[in-house]
Amino acid sequence: MLTARQLKIIKLIMNNPGIHGKEISENLNVSTRTIRNEITFMNDVTNCILIRSSTKQGYMINDEHLDIIHNIVNQDNENMDLAVYRIYKIIGKILFFEDCSIYDLSELLGLSDSVIRKEINKVIQFLLKNYNVELFKLKKDECVILLEESEIRELLFKIVKDTALENPDALMDILYMLLSDSWVMKYYKSTKEDVIKIMNGEQVYLSETDLSIFAACILICRVRNLNGYNLEENQISSPDDLSTRVITKLCMQSSYLEQADIPILYNLLHTVRMKSTDEVPEITDFTVLVFDEFCNEVFDKYSINLKESEALSSKMLLHIEFMNRRVIGGYELKNPIVDDVKTKFPFAFEISMMIVPILFKYKRVYVTEDEISYLTVYVAQFLENENVKLKTIVVTSQRHSVKQLLTQWLEMYFKNQIAIVDIINKEALKKMDLTSIDLVITLDSFLILKDVEVFSMDKLPEIKDIERLNSMIHMIRMNKRVSKILDCYIQKEHVKVYPDTKELPELLQEMSQKLHESGFISDTKGFYEDVLLREKNYPTNLGSQMMVPHALFTFADKTGIEVALLKKPFEHHGNQVQLVFLLALEKKRNDEMNLLFQFFNQIVSHKKYMHALLQSEDSDAFIKNLYSFKLLE
């Protein structure tokens, strides 16, 4: 991509073959030296002689490259930012000319000293605003570099990445300006081919944009090395993973890369997803920790379970893995439509922002709004697909103005949590099928329904009612979640009612065998002995009639539960136990099991419900009674 002034030069020459530099400079109000520099730049950046020059005949378009000229002239000039191009050009000159002064820059760029001073200030402000870095400072008219070589390369990597993501067609021009060498274009293609060859050997590939970024960054290392700007040897070795293997092979096969380049290139490549048909990207324990905390906090505040959809939560987890890598490594993505995302998905953006303090707590880094906007898309998709709003009926016999005030209040405070299906009176409610309804909100304090939760107010809502309704919504969602967990883990065929008593070792052995037959565990004997040993040392009694045994060290192939209800209790650590939930747990954190333990604890504290559960005659009655319990706040 050429600048507006460079395009004007081309058009002047096209329309006036043989025009001299003095005429062009007068037309554009710049020096003849600037015109010469611009024409040299255009011939270098396109890697061909676009414009021929002659002292007698002036400047002429090279007929051999008319196709390139036409493509250039047809570019959209409005998209070209001359100011940014000049900033990159100045950065390149400062980085590759030792003790570069204002007067050197004036000579190199064909600009007056006063203009150069203004442009240098623009460069300083640009780098502070976009990359929070101070590359150099002016000291007695000389540009003194303030960064270490590793920091300089990281800055160049970030500029390249942002350029390629925003405007891939401008990458070559930016590289030319930053590296101050025309020949880099020749080596960019071969560098890219080297990367592709090595990645093919590893059976992985990058997207075209990521490949361009990585090749450009390797080229930066190559040019800096060749110009004597070498990195110091880093004693910290990179992890033995795919990214390290790719970069190490590049170093071994290339004379232009050094061992010291591996860590800095690794930090970049580690933030990019390399795709493979065989290998799934590793999700680190840290990302799982962040994701779990994020989901828990979202559920606590909004009663929304982001793990509801396994497929979508897996995608979100993978996104957060690479988001963490980018944020921690300093290679955050920018999003040109971040404001549009915030406007279109305000609630999803609000939810996504809850990950910011979590990551700051552990790594002392802030996630930018640009990065948050990408996470927002996943959250918005979840909210849309899972239909997380509670289906709600509003019941009131009041006049129209009261109905309007009530609906406005609900819209203001609960629009993201409830969906109002209908607004009806009490008589109409009696005739309505409430099977699919989650919640009824009413101004009638005497309204009681058997199968649907009712939120009652005896007058127009007050501030305290916001907290009350939020608590009820949270309770409803918790119970819906518990019901899904029970559906998943406790089926009728895994419940057995024993008419006679059994000793604990015999009972656990029989239940362990059933877990094995159902494919939950492989080592029946080891699992059984582990559970028995735990009960001896750390009994799992809940209350006086129930216990939840599980192994300490033997993990399941998949999580499963066997239930035993004994009509005649057995004695265990001074308790008369009648109900046993034997758990086979996988070696991973399971939030569903944590919620199930909370459910079990509330069961034993509810005497009437516990009595009904113990009186179940068979597995069908037990399942029905189990589902009838409502989790309390």
Q: What is the pLDDT of residues 221-248, one digit of tens each?
A: 999 998 899 998 765 566 778 888 889 8
Q: Which of 39-53, 430-444, 450-464, 493-507 has the lowest mean pLDDT?
A: 39-53
pLDDT at 631 over 80: no
Among candidates 30, 84, 83, which has minimal Cα distance to 39? 30
Q: How far is CA 202 from CA 53, 90, 206, 250, 259, in A?
A: 49, 39, 12, 12, 20
pLDDT at 596 over 50: yes
Residue at a domain's end among 370, 386, 402 = 386
Q: Are residues 255 and 119 in the same domain?
A: yes
Q: Is residue 449 part of a domain?
A: yes
Exposure of 352 in the CB half-sphere (CA atoms within 13 A):
29
Q: Is residue 280 part of a domain?
A: no
Q: Are residues 109 and 248 in the same domain?
A: yes
Q: Measured in whole angstroms, how far is the alpha carbon of residue 222 from the centre of its chain?
A: 32
pLDDT at 131 over 90: yes
Helix, strand, coil percentages in the chain from 3-state DSSP, rounded to 5: 60, 10, 30
Strands 560-572 and 575-584: antiparallel
Reading the block at residue 403, the tokens are 């109905």
pLDDT at 633 over 50: no
List the CATH number of the domain containing 407: 3.40.50
Residue 322 near residue 375 (C-beta atoms within 8 A): no
Q: What is the pLDDT of residues 28-50, one digit of tens each?
A: 888 888 888 888 877 776 667 88
Q: Is residue 308 part of a domain?
A: yes
Q: Which range is most confident: 95-99, 119-123, 182-186?
A: 119-123
List the CATH number of the domain containing 566: 3.40.930.10
Q: What is the pLDDT of residues 305-339, one digit of tens each?
A: 898 888 888 999 999 999 999 999 999 999 989 99
Residue at a domain's end among 235, 269, 303 = 269
Residue 625 near residue 612 (C-beta atoms within 8 A): yes
pLDDT at 552 over 60: yes
Strand order in the sheet with 575-584: 495-498, 560-572, 575-584, 546-547, 541-542
pLDDT at 53 over 50: yes
**What is the rounded average pLDDT of the residues 291-305?**
89
**What is the rounded average pLDDT of the residues 132-146?**
92
pLDDT of residue 79: 43
DSSP tag of 170: G
Task: For 561-597, give the secondary structure using H, E and C.
Answer: EEEEEEEEEEEECCEEEEEEEEEECCCCCCHHHHHHH
CA torsion through residues 515, 521, 527, 532, sign: negative
pLDDT of residue 547: 95
Per the rule left: phi > 0, alpha: psi between -120 and 50, beta: everything else, 467 is: alpha
For residue 311, give every residue at least 6 positions away whose Cβ sits within 8 Å of its Cβ, in sequence order, or none.
none
Helical spans, DSSP H, in 285-399: 285-302, 310-329, 338-344, 346-352, 356-363, 369-386
3-class DSSP assignment, residue 279: coil
3-class DSSP assignment, residue 552: coil
Residue 410 near residue 422 (C-beta atoms within 8 A): no
Average pLDDT for the chain: 87
Q: How far is CA 462 from CA 399, 405, 410, 456, 459, in A?
A: 19, 12, 12, 12, 9
Q: Is residue 582 part of a domain?
A: yes
pLDDT at 622 over 90: yes
Q: Are residues 497 and 568 in the same domain?
A: yes
Q: What is the pLDDT of residues 469-499, one digit of tens each?
A: 988 988 888 888 888 889 889 999 999 999 9
Residue 457 near residue 442 (C-beta atoms within 8 A): yes
Among candidates 508, 512, 567, which has minimal Cα distance to 540? 508
Q: Is residue 584 part of a domain?
A: yes
pLDDT of residue 7: 82
pLDDT at 78 over 60: no
pLDDT level of residue 256 (50, 70, 90 thresholds): confident
List the CATH number of the domain containing 317: 1.10.1790.10
Q: Are residues 326 and 356 in the same domain?
A: yes
DSSP symbols for 500-522: S---HHHHHHHHHHHHHHTTS-S
Q: Is residue 372 part of a domain?
A: yes
Q: Is residue 580 part of a domain?
A: yes
Q: Which of 21-25, 134-138, 367-371 has the lowest mean pLDDT?
A: 21-25
Angle between helices 171-179 and 208-226 (to 10 degrees): 10
pLDDT of residue 76: 44
Q: Provide the residue range defining the domain that includes 589.
A: 488-627
* Long-range contact pairs involving 529-533 (C-beta distance under 8 Å, separation at least 24): 530/554, 531/582, 532/504, 532/505, 532/508
CA dihedral (470, 471, 473, 475) in degrees, to 10, reads: 160
Tally the domains of the chain: 5
Query: Does residue 591 or residue 285 have the better pLDDT?
Result: 285
Q: What is the pLDDT of residues 336-380, one digit of tens each?
A: 899 999 988 989 999 999 999 999 999 999 999 999 999 999 999
pLDDT at 514 over 90: yes
List the CATH number of the domain containing 27: 1.10.10.10
Residue 586 near residue 558 (C-beta atoms within 8 A): yes
Residue 394: phi and psi, rounded to 5, are: -105, 120
Q: Is residue 231 part of a domain?
A: yes
Reading the block at residue 33, the tokens are 């030296």
pLDDT at 189 over 90: no
Q: Are residues 218 and 329 in the same domain?
A: no
Q: Are residues 94 and 55 in the same domain?
A: no
3-class DSSP assignment, residue 265: helix
pLDDT at 277 over 70: no
**What is the rounded average pLDDT of the residues 578-592?**
88
- The Cα–Cα gap between 115 and 173 comes to 23
Q: Are residues 68 and 175 in the same domain?
A: no
pLDDT level of residue 77 (50, 70, 90 thresholds): very low
pLDDT at 183 over 70: no
Residue at a domain's end among 386, 407, 439 = 386
Q: Are residues 95 and 196 in the same domain?
A: yes
Q: Are residues 103 and 122 in the same domain?
A: yes
Q: Are residues 379 and 413 in the same domain?
A: no
Q: Are residues 136 and 48 in the same domain?
A: no
pLDDT of residue 31: 86
% of the chain at pLDDT higher than 70: 94
Strands 546-547 and 541-542: antiparallel
Q: Are residues 121 and 52 in the same domain?
A: no
pLDDT level of residue 632 (50, 70, 90 thresholds): low
